[in-house]
Amino acid sequence: MDVAAAKYIGAGLAMLGMIGAGIGLGILFGNYLNGALRNPSAAPGERPMLFLGMALTEALGIFALVIAFLILFVKV
């Protein structure tokens, strides 16, 4: 196998973390909306945890993107 082909395969596998981040955000916001519709008075109290979870999930997705770029563009 060529080294360039292996780098592209590795970068593609590293991008699976972005899929996980998208799924995580969907679950996070879906559960927040479900809880907010069941108990609207408690929704403002849960909003800081929603934003914290969103930030951590996005950070993991961005970390996966950085790892993919490192695999592609760093010379070995």
CB 46 within 8 A of CB 75: no
Total domains in the fold of the chain: 1
Q: Give mean pLDDT, residues 32-44.
A: 94
Residue 75 is predicted with a pLDDT of: 82
Residue 13 is predicted with a pLDDT of: 93
Can you give the pTM of this predicted structure? 0.81
- Of 62, 75, 69, whose CA–CA distance to 25 is shortest? 62
Residue 15 is predicted with a pLDDT of: 92
- Of 6, 4, 15, 3, whose CA–CA distance to 68 is shortest? 15
26-to-8, 22, 39, 42 alpha-carbon distances in Å: 28, 6, 20, 20
User: What string of DSSP letters covers 46-59?
Assistant: HHHHHHHHHHHHHH
pLDDT over threshold 90, residue 23? yes
CATH of the domain at 55: 1.20.20.10
Q: Which domain holds residue 30?
A: 3-73
